[in-house]
Amino acid sequence: MGPCPLLPHQVVIIGGGFGGLCAAQALAGLPVKVTLIDKRNFHLFQPLLYQVATGLLCPSEVATPLRHVLKHQKNVEVLLGEAVDIDTAGRRVMLADGEVPYDTLILSAGMVTHYYDHDEWEKYAPGLKTLEDTVRIRQRIFTAYEVAERERDPEKRKEWQTFVVIGSGATGIELSGMISEIAHNTLKGEFRSIRPEASRIILLDAADRILPTYPEALSKITEKALNRLGVETRLHTKVVDIDAQGVTVEAPQGRERIPARTIVWASGVKASPLARIIAEKTRAETDGTGRVVVNPDLTLAGNSNIFVIGDMAHVKSKKGTPLPGLAPAATQQGRYVAKAIKDRLAGHEQMGSFSYFDKGTMAVIGRNAAVADIGGWHFGGFLAWLTWLFIHLVLLVQFQNKVIVLIRWAFQYFSYNRGARNIMLKGKLKLPLSGKDSL
Amino acid sequence: MGPCPLLPHQVVIIGGGFGGLCAAQALAGLPVKVTLIDKRNFHLFQPLLYQVATGLLCPSEVATPLRHVLKHQKNVEVLLGEAVDIDTAGRRVMLADGEVPYDTLILSAGMVTHYYDHDEWEKYAPGLKTLEDTVRIRQRIFTAYEVAERERDPEKRKEWQTFVVIGSGATGIELSGMISEIAHNTLKGEFRSIRPEASRIILLDAADRILPTYPEALSKITEKALNRLGVETRLHTKVVDIDAQGVTVEAPQGRERIPARTIVWASGVKASPLARIIAEKTRAETDGTGRVVVNPDLTLAGNSNIFVIGDMAHVKSKKGTPLPGLAPAATQQGRYVAKAIKDRLAGHEQMGSFSYFDKGTMAVIGRNAAVADIGGWHFGGFLAWLTWLFIHLVLLVQFQNKVIVLIRWAFQYFSYNRGARNIMLKGKLKLPLSGKDSL
């Protein structure tokens, strides 16, 4: 069952992240009908999620309506829907509430937070992958100080003023750096019974250095900078249990209990459930994080009409190691796939394999401090921070947001204030908040 | 049991709205300890709620952290807590999770949405009084278009593209005007299967004219303007039932069913439950909307240490009619009460009665169109709109927000775009959304 000669070639893209959105845009002007399906109505600018989770930006500033971005591209339709299965034989994407036929399928559903064998930790230690996560984390951080202000028991107060970030990748250091700034700068002087600057911010990792995937030199720079900001870094420290009152860890000096009421999980992600589904249907391999191992041309063996791109794809780099789950990799893959579809429509079946142009990686530690690994050039400090600032501002999809985000950054830089702190609840207020109260 | 000579006079304020916040600020520098209790951690700028509910502003832009505003006023402490009862004999405010003693109590808990004898309508037709309401309404408006785009049945599509606003006060006309702009401008060209501009926006009221509390001349101007914007205004139309599929009304031409999937309730408010509680304890009267009838000095008979101000107070104007529930009335009362407390501490027991300086009222119809009733001067159109714009910008509490709100307004004015459209969910996506999915 090939494409019907009367209908245009139907390309279905699942996921409006960097890979999916880029593919849709790169298909502009081609004689194909593109259907972009996402379970949210926005493109999420994930690199700035941590700034929303810490009250610096508001959610909509990192969430650009997909239909607005693609408004003028008439060969694209955007559908709000959640893909639950793929009928590779019938060439249909099954939604929770419908189905969409495809000739060519582009899977770019990204990754979700991964708790390994401890999904029960999720309610105590939310991850930071979705816009909903940012609201949950933000509510917990700012509510913790409200509870501490009213708490009379000094021990419990300490617990409410202890923040544990698990995982020292880019997200972990960005979050811990920001939480430290909230404690030492944003909230300073706003309370009467507690001293926010007396808070403990602990960054845990089982690895032997922070930013394990970065060059070792940068790990050292980053750790020093975090410590200067007041973040305690604990390496070789494995989390063995998490509950509402704290974290239990296995450290070189033995087992230890860290009482803490606010815990964030930044240490694990796995491919979207769709990865497993498509792998089973096509007998493709998946790697340790559930990513689908794809051909050099990003297709699946025996299914040249199915592409898997972005974070959910395991693409081998020249060195044989899988490509990192970064926006540039996803966008490059999106453009590559669009080009491949164009070539095929033109009758050129043979495609060169995808090759990744490494633009490097960056992480922000705090104001004036970041680390960068660009083209083998490793540097940190203010210059890296400026570079980060510039790149991320340029990358923000929507023009309006760029200006507003810049202004927020400018205000915050000088005032240390954070506007987006509003705690929103569903039911009556009863402290401490339980998971269900929180919006 | 009077104030203890060793401790400073304890003033407790319940509610950080315009009245409560203003009272707290006006007590600066006095030898009193002020405790401001609110069930949210922010001052809500209610006049702009409708802009958040329609995706123009994001929630935090109308929610200023109370502790930030009061940061430098050392005689004020802010507590996140919900007052559930008042022990007038023991002079204690009972919280859901604690208690706070007072020497002088200022009640300024405002109003809540009122469904008369039909609380069951709440889940079908949310009101617009809280920040949570804005998110609910925004999610429903933008989700309705997503569902319509995927709906194949033309009848059901119409239902999803029909928006009913019940109540033609300022909130009702502001909401219906904004929804019409979303349909005709913001979303235009962003869909492939539906035409957003084909939406029906219906403004219902049982009264014989819209803006019933405004001068008649302005009602006419407003109705014409709304109709030009594409809003159907239906007067003499009483709602008799609301469910998930629509509204049933009693109109002059008889009973009618209006199928509609998005319904907003802008027709009733009543005083906070605390009004009934304090009225019972002090044998004070309450009026039809549950407001506490107060003495000319805003105290309660036999309880000169309890003030009730703002929307929850029934204060007689010179004409004998109660004062309107407007921000200026609340702020003036807040300052008056602070002054009264100051006088008492200075030993002057006799206070003049509160007198309201009427600054007039305004309502926005849409871009370039508003109506104003200022000092008996009635005018509409562009000038009124500019006046509204200026006044509200000046009134926004937090400086950062002023700039960002101004920029959002400027961008939106020229681009018609609305950035804050993000639909956030808790569970899996299944259209249409049920109340519980929505954040």
pLDDT digits (tens, 9 = 90+) for A176-189: 999 999 999 999 99
Contacts 24+ apart (CB under 8 A), A117-121: A118/A242, A121/A242, A121/A265
Find the residue in A nearest to B57 (Cα).
A60
pLDDT digits (tens, 9 = 90+) for B77-124: 999 999 999 999 999 999 988 999 999 999 999 999 999 999 999 999
Cβ–Cβ contact B137 with A under 8 A = no
- Active-site residue, from A61, A159, A174, A223: A174
CA distance A137 to chain B (A): 14
Active site residue B174: yes
Cβ–Cβ contact A435 with B under 8 A = no
Question: Which residues in chain A have their CB less than 8 angstroms from residue B398's CB?
Answer: 419
The DSSP output letter for A434 is P
pLDDT digits (tens, 9 = 90+) for A392-420: 888 776 666 777 888 888 878 888 788 88
Contacts 24+ apart (CB under 8 A), A373-377: A373/A214, A373/A215, A373/A218
Q: In B90-242, where does DSSP find H-type helix?
A: 131-150, 154-160, 170-181, 216-228
Interchain contact, A71 vs B190, CB within 8 Å: yes
Interchain contact, A80 vs B422, CB within 8 Å: no
Closest C-alpha among A18, A7, A14, A2 to residue A331: A18
Checking if the pLDDT of A428 tops 70, the result is: yes
- Selecting from A98, A132, A439 the residue whose C-beta is nearest the C-beta of B132 gives A439
Question: Which residues in chain A have their CB less than 8 angstroms from residue B431's CB?
Answer: 80-81, 97
Residue B351 or A101, more confident: A101
Interchain contact, B65 vs A422, CB within 8 Å: yes
pLDDT band at B33 (very low <50, low <70, confident <90, very high): very high
Which residue has tokens 């491919």? A271
Q: Measure the CA–CA gap between B67 and B63, rounded to whole angstroms.
A: 12
pLDDT attached to residue A436: 52
Q: Output the average pLDDT for chain A.
A: 92
Question: Which residues in chain B have their CB less than 8 angstroms from residue A98's CB?
Answer: 150
Checking if the pLDDT of A150 tops 80, the result is: yes
Checking if the pLDDT of B194 tops 90, the result is: yes
CA distance B191 to chain A (A): 7
Q: Measure the CA–CA gap between B292 and B281, rounded to whole angstroms.
A: 12
Q: State the sign of the Cα–Cα–Cα–Cα dihedral A143, A149, A150, A153.
A: positive
Checking if the pLDDT of B316 tops 70, the result is: yes
Checking if the pLDDT of B61 tops 80, the result is: yes
Q: Say how many CB pairs under 8 Å bridge A and B.
A: 182
pLDDT digits (tens, 9 = 90+) for B128-154: 999 999 999 999 999 999 999 999 999
Of the candidate ranges A11-25, A143-157, B366-380, the one whose mean pLDDT is the lowest: B366-380
pLDDT digits (tens, 9 = 90+) for A186-223: 999 999 999 999 999 999 999 999 999 899 999 999 99
pLDDT band at A1 (very low <50, low <70, confident <90, very high): very low
pLDDT digits (tens, 9 = 90+) for A116-138: 999 999 999 999 999 999 999 99
| Residues within 8 A of B (CB atoms), A 258-317 only | none
Q: Measure the CA–CA gap between A26 and A339, rounded to whole angstroms.
A: 8
Question: Which residues in chain A have their CB less than 8 angstroms from residue B77's CB?
Answer: 192-193
Note the pTM of the prediction, 2 decimals. 0.94
pLDDT attached to residue B64: 93
CA distance A350 to chain B (A): 34
Checking if the pLDDT of B389 tops 80, the result is: yes
pLDDT attached to residue B320: 84
For A281, B164, B181, B274, the CA distances from B160, given in Å and listed in that order, are 37, 11, 17, 38
Helix H or strand E segment including A147 = helix A131-150
pLDDT digits (tens, 9 = 90+) for A59-80: 999 999 999 999 999 999 999 9
Q: What percent of chain B has pLDDT over 70?
A: 96
CA distance B386 to chain A (A): 22
Interchain contact, B400 vs A408, CB within 8 Å: yes
- Selecting from B98, B143, B428 the residue whose C-beta is nearest the C-beta of A82 gives B428
**Tokens (6 digits) for A183:** 């404690």
Interchain contact, B429 vs A82, CB within 8 Å: yes
pLDDT attached to residue A258: 98
Checking if the pLDDT of A21 tops 90, the result is: yes
